[in-house]
Structure 1
Amino acid sequence: MNAWTIDAATSLASKSDWTVLKPLLLQSVAQTLEMVLVTLLIGGFLGLVLGVVLYGTRPGNLFENSVVYHILDVIVNIIRPIPFIIFLAAMQPLTIKVVGTSIGTAAAIFPMVVMCTFATSRLVEQNLVPVDPGIIEAARAMGASKFTIIRTVLIPEALGPLILAYAFLFIGVLDMSAMAGYIGGGGLGNFAIAYGYQKFDQTVTWSAVVIMIVLVQVVQAIANALAKHVLKRQR
């Protein structure tokens, strides 16, 4: 798309011409889903691993190691509270080295994955802590290895709460994707700002808001149903 076409599209979009805005909106939805799904897939998995390590190295647990636990605990506590818009700026030099650019969807996904990993790790740890230690001890007494206990006992016992935790995480990642618009990451956040807020068009802004609300409601409903099914089977 050349510069004239972009200028023309922006001009038409500023007049709430939905023949122009509709494809832009659909493209923004696709970009948001790409950022959110890739981030959840990679960051969610890495966060699960890190969360298990955090849990396992706590005093009295499977891989008890106070040094490793406290180092990881401090790192997670440093990164998690950073507002994502500031984290985006702080990560820019590393993003350029890893991705090759600081602009675009790929450049937005990298810091999102990093932040998601650390956020997920704490959620996973918090949901593993309440698992009955007696069940784990019983598995150890039967000769199960530590990794077998994690795979067949620990995670299955906490699966219901973990599903709900990942649904909560989806909302956080969706929020991050909206802020990614500030670095040209695209998505619904960028669409709402560029064609709604900056053009004083509330219809455009609320279109993006409604779509994000629908996405959250659908994911939460699915998570609730899955968690309910898992918890019912465990009883």
Structure 2
Amino acid sequence: MIKELLIKGLEETIYMVGYSTLFAVILGFILAIILILTDEKGLKPNKFVYSVFDLIINVLRSFPFIILMIAIFPLTKLIVGKSIGNTAAIVPLTIGAAPFAARVIESALKEVDPGLIEAAKSFGATTPQILFKVMIKEAFPSIARGIILTIINLIGYSAMAGAIGAGGLGNVAIMYGYNRFKSDIMIYTVIVLIIVVQVIQSFGNVLYKNLNK
């Protein structure tokens, strides 16, 4: 029985984390690009736009995930038709992780050598060309590492989501371990989560080294 619970929980966790990573990275890229363009040293400086998006990201990042999940129940229900369950959890997971993804992508883009950007400008490159062919290309290894960190964060978020109606390994630990006083199930769940995180982190390290060659 424990094996079946863990396999089902792992499948649900992969489902939630997979889709929320995809959506969070897409939103994170959009936010990071806006920030990097409108920064005072950016390609299209705009203090007002930068301040607004910077504030939005900081506010969302300051919310404890479990509170954020409860606070956006109405939005979740509006988008997926229900406020609990694996699919419903993707909405708060995405909103919770997108600001983090935006910050790590923004930081990666800011690490690009300004000399390369100036060189591209001198050759008459347009803003989109500088952004996509110079900045994102140069920052891609760091961006990939940031995405790995986002995935690991989302695994932690998904475990918390299990406390208030989502499935996954967090739900297995709470429903079948904590609530039924079965410490062995909780221990096995923690072990599986640790193994998953270690595998993802190891893959990320190898990927980063290969991209940096």
Fold agreement, TM-score > 0.5:
yes
Distance (Å, rounded) in 1 between the aligned partners of 2:42 and 2:54: 15
Question: Equivalent residue for 1:39?
Answer: 20
Preserved contact between residue 148 and residue 200 of structure 2 (Cα < 8 Å): yes
| Structure with bigger gyration radius | 1
Q: CA deviation at 1:89?
A: 0.7
Other-structure match for 1:179: 160
Q: Which runs of 5+ in 2 are unaligned?
A: none
In structure 1, what residue type is equivalent to 2:179? Q
TM-score of the two chains, using structure 1 as the length reference: 0.87
Q: Which amino acid aligns with 1:138?
A: A
Percent of residue pairs bearing the same amino acid type: 39
Kindly report which structure 2 residues correspond to 1:183-222, keeping only aligned pairs within 5 A, or say none.
183-222=164-203
Paired residue for 2:41?
60
Aligned to 2:51: 70
Is the 1:104–1:183 Cα contact (8 Å) retained in structure 2?
no
Alpha-carbon separation, structure 2, partners of 1:86 and 1:134 = 44
In the TM superposition, residue 226 of structure 1 has moved relative to its aligned partner by 1.2
Q: How does 1:1-235 map to 2 (within 5 A)?
A: 20-232=1-213
Deviation at residue 30 of structure 1 after TM alignment: 0.5
Residue 220 of structure 1 and its aligned partner are, at CA, apart by 0.9
Structure 1, unaligned stretches of length 5 or more? 1-19
- TM-score w.r.t. structure 2 length? 0.96
What's the CA shift for 1:183?
2.7
Shift of 1:140: 1.5
**Contact 1:177–1:187 (Cα < 8 Å) also in 2:** yes
CA RMSD of aligned residues (A): 1.2
Cα offset, 1:123, TM superposition? 1.3
Q: What amino acid maps onto 1:142 in structure 2?
A: F
Contact preservation (8 Å) 2:163, 2:174: no
